[in-house]
């Protein structure tokens, strides 16, 4: 009886140790960025969003986890103030009416304790569509300066912006495909 009780306690401790861990996104080291067409192949415009928040919850042993990212739509940075104002306008992001964009998903395809993709939903201009991000790099370790547990990743995918009601320039031949890149760093909560 004592042996059975001891085994049950050990089993319970193992489960407690494998509990999911929450990481808070570091807003100073997380910048969702994108690449999009300009004038039907004339050039590629690149930009980023400078205000981001959210969390990652991960259980490496179980091979599960979630991602929840909120992006301030008005924080767009294209290196061109006039263009940024136009992108914030109702013709494109309509940042006053839709102040945030979100990406929520499940970590998937774990290999050696690290996810290889995020199967998620992007919400832009109030429209939600599936967008899968491939994770090219993923690492968790002790931060060399703070000593805190941190994780970092680099993920990318693409989507058709017209599916979200952002089809400005389509009549001029602008391609509607957008490449989304999210470089993220997050610190263990608590």
Distance CA 181, CA 155 (A): 6
Average pLDDT, the chain: 91
HEC letters along 28-56:
CCCEEEEEEEECCCCEEEEEEECCEEEEE
Give the integer Cα–Cα distance in Å for 24 and 67: 10
In which band, very low, low, confident or very high, does the pLDDT at 17 lie, cut at 50, 70 and 90? low
pLDDT at residue 11 tops 60:
no
CA torsion sign, 85 to 33 to 129 to 52? negative
CA distance 22 to 17: 14
Q: Which domains does the chain have, with CATH numbers?
A: 19-188 (2.40.128.110)
User: What are the tens digits of pLDDT across the range 62-118?
Assistant: 999 999 999 999 999 999 999 999 999 999 999 999 999 999 999 999 999 999 999
């Amino acid at each position: 009886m004592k042996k059975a009780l001891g085994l049950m306690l050990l089993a319970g401790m193992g489960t407690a140790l494998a509990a999911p861990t929450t990481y808070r996104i570091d807003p100073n080291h997380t910048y969702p960025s994108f690449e999009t067409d300009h004038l039907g192949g004339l050039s590629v415009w690149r930009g980023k969003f400078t205000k981001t928040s959210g969390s990652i919850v991960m259980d490496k042993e179980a091979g599960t986890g979630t991602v929840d990212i909120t992006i301030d739509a008005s924080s767009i940075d294209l290196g061109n103030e006039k263009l940024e104002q136009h992108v914030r306008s109702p013709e494109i992001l309509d940042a006053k009416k839709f102040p945030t964009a979100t990406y929520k998903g499940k970590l998937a395809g774990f290999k050696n304790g690290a996810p290889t993709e995020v199967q998620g939903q992007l919400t832009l201009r109030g429209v939600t569509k599936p967008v899968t991000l491939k994770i090219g790099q993923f690492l968790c370790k002790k931060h060399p300066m703070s000593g805190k547990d941190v994780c970092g990743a680099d993920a990318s995918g693409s989507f058709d912006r017209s599916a979200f009601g952002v089809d400005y320039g389509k009549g001029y031949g602008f391609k509607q495909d957008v490449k989304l890149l999210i470089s993220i760093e997050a610190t263990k909560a608590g």
